[in-house]
Amino acid sequence: KKIYLNGDILDSESATISVFDRGFLFGDGIYEVMVQINGRFFYKEAHLKRLEENLRKIKIDFDTRNLSAEISKILKGSDLVDKDCLLYMHVTRGVAPRQHAFPTSITPTFMMYAIPKILPDINLIKASVITSEDFRWTRCDIKMISLLGNVIANEDAMQAGCFENIFIRNGVVTEASHCNVFFVKDDIVYTHPADRFILDGITRQLVLELCAQLGIEVREKGVSEKAMIDMDEAFLTGTTTQIASIRQIDDHFYYQGDAIGKITKRLQEAYLKLKN
């Protein structure tokens, strides 16, 4: 497996970083994930724009102008040009003696890798999810590499034999450990607004666009924990999750068997058309 590290393409065993890298010491960095399907990255511009915004948010001075050319290098090095794959990009503030404040002159660490990835057939996913308190900080809009809260929540879901763990903050559904969450009630789609309590997913933005195109009404409004089980449909979105129907949330079933909700289905169909 090949790794892109600070301009070089290396074997994964020789791609090493300093223990004084602030990504390692503090989780001081951001990342991005996108997928290549049928020879092109799905919503590449939106992903690169979010990467730039995240760098700005945490004041990492990193030049992204050559990014597309560098991405081509890692795809070539990994023998994945035009192949279906997942690209992981990771920028940390860089290497410096351990002190909380930002060092004055520092070169960011930039790491990327690409792995073959065939996305699952979304029609087959009927997810069961659990819910838990959103114990994360209040800058969930930053796609930061310090994912401890998300990791713990996801592990709880796995232990429960579930696909995801849905976070509830002050009685309101925010998002899940690595997905955004949507509900449908009386043909109206609900999702949490893109504020500091959620990551504004590229797939989330795309679903909102699809709703506009299909004439489906949307309210960017958090659904309360109480109202959650009165909803007609629920689904998850994310780059690798795509649009995944939720069948069961804790003890509540939105449907039995294979009866994916009609709005979820319409959005899935519109989404799959975009990919092909």
| CB of 96 or CB of 234, closer to ligand PDD | 234
- Least gap, CB of 237 to ligand PDD (angstroms): 6
Is residue 179 near ligand PDD by the rule CB under 6 A? yes
Stretch that binds ligand PDD, among 14-22, 110-118, 154-162, 201-209 (CB under 6 A): 201-209
Which residues ranging from 136 to 155 are in contact with ligand PDD (CB under 6 A)? 150
| CB of 71 or CB of 95, closer to ligand PDD | 71
- Least gap, CB of 99 to ligand PDD (angstroms): 28
Which of these is catalytic: 143, 185, 221, 273? 143
- Annotated active-site residue 143? The verdict is yes
Number of residue whose CB is nearest ligand PDD: 201
Size of the site for ligand PDD (CB under 6 A): 15
Is residue 165 near ligand PDD by the rule CB under 6 A? no
- Least gap, CB of 146 to ligand PDD (angstroms): 12
Give the span between the Cα atoms of 46 and 235, in whole angstroms: 22
| CB of 89 or CB of 216, closer to ligand PDD | 89
Is residue 248 near ligand PDD by the rule CB under 6 A? no
Q: Count the alpha carbons within 13 Å of 99 in the hemisphere toward its beta carbon.
A: 7
Is residue 178 near ligand PDD by the rule CB under 6 A? yes
Which residues ranging from 22 to 51 are in contact with ligand PDD (CB under 6 A)? 33
| CB of 114 or CB of 199, closer to ligand PDD | 199
| CB of 95 or CB of 164, closer to ligand PDD | 164
Residue with tokens 């890692």: 74
Q: What's the Cα-to-Cα distance from 148 to each of 37, 57, 154, 174, 268, rounded to whole Å? A: 30, 20, 10, 17, 31
Is residue 222 near ligand PDD by the rule CB under 6 A? no
Active site residues: 143
> Which residues of this chain interact with ligand PDD, rule CB under 6 A?
33, 150, 175, 178-180, 199, 201-204, 237-240
